[in-house]
Amino acid sequence: TPPVERYEYQAEVSRLMDLIVNSLYSNKEVFLRELVSNASDALDKLRFLSVTEPELLKDAVDLDIRIQTDKDNGIITITDSGIGMTRQDLVDCLGTIAQSGTAKFLKALKDSKDAGGDSNLIGQFGVGFYSAFLVSDRVVVSTKSPKSDKQYVWEGEANTSSYTIREETDPEKLIPRGTCLTLYLKRDDKGFAHPERIQKLVKNYSQFVSFPIYTWQEKGFTKEVEVDEDPSEVRKDEQDEKTEKKKKTKTVVEKYWDWELTNETQPIWLRNPKEVTTEEYNEFYKKTFNEYLEPLASSHFTTEGEVEFRSILYVPSISSTSKDDIVNPKTKNIRLYVKRVFISDDFDGELFPRYLSFVKGVVDSNDLPLNVSREILQESRIVRIMRKRLVRKAFDMILGISMSENREDYEKFWDNFGKYLKLGCIEDRENHKRIAPLLRFFSSQSEEDMISLDEYIENMIPEQKDIFYIAADSVKSAKNTPFLERLHEKKIEVLYLVDPIDEVAIQNLKSYKEKNFVDATKEDLDLGDKNEEKEKEMKQEFAQTCDFIKKHLGDKVASVQISNRLRSSPCVVVTGKFGWSANMERLMKSQTV
Ligand code: ADP
Ligand code: MG
């Protein structure tokens, strides 16, 4: 017999296993969700690869997931006919942590102070494969990759720091392809091996898995069976008549076991939006994107005509991406399907501009080839059209939030994703019209609640032509600057741009509804009340004073001029009409953009 080889877990795995076995007690049932989702991933991978390598399907087994329970012995087996694992895969995948979901969990755990109070983190993130040890003493994974001619068995036990791998030799256990996971349940968790319990969990946790999931269920049917008549009951007269012995029938219940389809496999995006409830959309979102909070908004739509595709888009309720992700998103936000086959979640950059990378969703197209690659996507006219529509829908969805009765919704959105939209001002000229109405700023007349540009315009005084702004590092310093004295006096509202990116965004927009954005600190402010005669007089009167001051300051200033912008302050230092504003200079120096 081939040898059994023993391997040590990577340190992180050991720590995770220890945590799972010894401190996570609540919400154990999520193990099923994790293992079924792995099975589904494995089927997705096989289906995707078989597009270009059809021979992978040569052992023509159906693509499905089968869960069998043995309640007497407390055993659950989960079998999928997916991509399976080679020996090396087993070492790489089940002995180390390089995986998204699990890594996310560990990070969240690190970020939160006490590990003890975080057993519900497991429900939020999942711990992937290792969640099998939430309920099992021993886990056996027998797996056959179509790339290998051998089937291997991985075996691990709770509370050990090592696992073994050997070749499968039991002919009864050989499978054509895929993975068979056997869980030997802990004494207290044997209840999970009840067929009805498993069926309920599958319905609860796996309703959006797009492969059929069968569970092994006991069934019964009724049957009429013939029974011989008991001679003692036969009536005398009948006997007398000497009729043929009559047959009597009886109804019995015949029991048998069989596979039962337990989930609904039609993808939610194929359904009629009118028939899908908000709860279903939210559930789908949480399951698909491994999120635990409800999304802020969703949008389900079909486009027809030139290019046909279906999509559901979501705006999350909090930002899960870091600052780096804005600039270089590797966020796997958009899951691309072609004719319902999952292709990749790595193409989001092609389907969405990077500044919209916070939007999550699924996109299913009938017009792309199944073997679509990044290169194809980049050059495809179809994708350009799709991208345009998706972006438009995303903006509609965001606009919807901004018009919601509940003002808090949009405040929440802005808090989390405002930065992204400002980046959009810089990167996506074409969509300025859609982005601008969504922007929010503090202003001289609204220091606590942000206002929209439309609100600003409504608030303009009759002779005002421009939209004024001042960039500063806080509302407080914007408010106290002497530049604004005259604007304040005339009751002209001034936007306070307090986020470093604000000013660049505004400068990229240039104007909104035909009103130019004007920096209130620049010289030559036109407040619609110019009196040229008077200005000329003043200039002459103070020409000598200005010369005197300029002489004293020398190169420190470009010029010294008479201005009508101030009221109570005697003088102010401003930047030239064509120069950078003080804020921009600060920004360029710190290179934060
Ligand atoms: P994740 O699913 O986030 O990658 P898991 O811990 O759930 O992390 O799984 C680890 C890896 O093990 C998977 O990425 C996959 O490569 C492999 N794996 C797990 N279950 C299966 C399976 N049923 N078939 C094939 N590969 C699997
Ligand atoms: Mg997983």
**Ligand 1 atom closest to residue 78's alpha carbon, by position in its atom list:** 23
Predicted confidence at residue 406, as pLDDT, reads 87
> Residue 354: in which H helix or E strand, if any?
none
* Ligand 1 atom closest to residue 38's alpha carbon, by position in its atom list: 20
Q: Is the shortest distance between the CB of 42 and ligand 1 below 6 Å?
A: yes
Task: Name the percent of the chain lying above pLDDT 90.
Answer: 49
> Does the annotation list 159 as a binding residue?
no
Q: How far is the CA of 283 from the centre of ligand 1 (A)?
A: 22
CA of 35 to the centre of ligand 1 (A): 8
Higher pLDDT, 339 or 455: 455
**What is the rounded CA–CA span in Å between residue 70 and residue 492?**
77
Residue 389 has pLDDT above 70, yes or no: yes
C-alpha span between 422 and 440 (Å, rounded): 10
Residue 83 has pLDDT above 90, yes or no: yes
Our CA dihedral for 374, 379, 383, 384, rounded to 10 degrees, sits at 130
**Joined tokens for residue 129:** 């494969």
> 133 vs 30, 34, 166, 209, 337, CA distance in Å?
11, 11, 20, 23, 33
Instruction: Write down the pLDDT at residue 569.
Output: 75
Atom 20 in ligand 1: residue holding the nearest Cα: 38
Q: How confident is the model at residue 583 (pLDDT cuts 50, 70, 90)?
A: low
Average pLDDT over residues 27-46: 89
Q: Directed axis angle between helix 11-23 and helix 100-111, to 10°?
A: 70
Digit-coded pLDDT (tens) for 221-274:
988 888 876 666 555 555 555 555 567 888 899 899 999 999 987 889 999 999
ipTM exceeding 0.90, yes/no = yes
Question: Which-ligand-closest: CA of 180?
Answer: 1
pLDDT at 593: 39
Give the lowest-confidence range in 126-140, 179-193, 516-530.
516-530
Average pLDDT over residues 68-97: 94
Instruction: Determine the pLDDT at residue 539.
Output: 82
Q: What is the pLDDT of residue 521?
A: 82
pLDDT for the residue 25: 67
Q: Is any ligand 1 atom within 6 A of the Cβ of residue 38?
A: yes
The beta strand positions in 318-398, using DSSP E, are 334-338, 341-344, 360-365
30 CB within 6 A, ligand 1: no
In the structure, what pLDDT confidence band is assigned to residue 555 with cuts at 50, 70 and 90? confident
- pLDDT at position 329: 54
Question: Is 392's pLDDT higher than 70?
Answer: yes
Q: Please check the confidence at residue 467 and state whether its pLDDT lies above 70.
A: yes
504 is in an annotated binding site: no
- How is the beta sheet containing 511-512 ordered, strand by strand? 446-451, 441-443, 494-497, 467-471, 515-519, 511-512
581 CB less than 6 Å from ligand 1?
Answer: no
Find out whether 152 and 3 touch, Cβ atoms under 8 Å.
no
Whether the per-residue pLDDT at 123 is higher than 70: the answer is no
What is residue 550's predicted lDDT score, i.e. its pLDDT? 86
What's the pLDDT tens digit per position in 565-577?
666 777 877 766 5
- The band of 360, judged by pLDDT with boundaries at 50, 70 and 90, is very high
Q: How confident is the model at residue 115 (pLDDT cuts 50, 70, 90)?
A: very low
- Among 37-51, 189-203, 434-448, 523-537, where is mean pLDDT lowest? 523-537
Q: Is the minimum distance from the CB of 353 to ligand 1 under 6 angstroms?
A: no
The reply to whether 72 sits in an annotated binding site is: no
Looking at residue 592, what is its pLDDT? 44
Residue 240 pLDDT: 55
Higher confidence at residue 233 or residue 11? 11
Mean pLDDT estimate for the chain:
86
Backbone φ and ψ of 175, nearest 5° = -120, 150
| Cα separation, 442 vs 391, whole angstroms | 27
CA distance 191 to 201: 12
Helix or strand run (H / E) with residue 25: none
User: Residue 117: its pLDDT value, please?
Assistant: 47
Structure tokens of 35?
């293992």
In this predicted structure, what is the pLDDT of residue 299? 97
Residue 327's pLDDT is what? 54
Residue type, 128: G
Strands (E), 88-150: 136-144
What integer pLDDT is reported at residue 330 of this predicted model? 61
How many residues does the structure list for the chain? 593
Ligand 1 atom 21 nearest Cα: 38
Distance CA 397, CA 391 (A): 10
Query: Which element (helix H / strand E) includes 24?
Result: none
Helix (H) or strand (E) holding 147: none
Measured from the alpha carbon of residue 105, the closest ligand is 1
pLDDT in tens, 175-211: 999 999 999 999 999 999 999 999 999 988 777 788 9
User: How do residues 328-357 score in pLDDT, each as one tens digit?
Assistant: 556 678 999 888 878 888 887 888 898 999
Query: Which residue owns the Cα nearest ligand 1 atom 16?
Result: 93
Enumerate helices (H) and strands (E) in the chain, giving the number of each: 20, 20
Please determine, for residue 82, whether its predicted confidence score (pLDDT) is greater than 90: yes
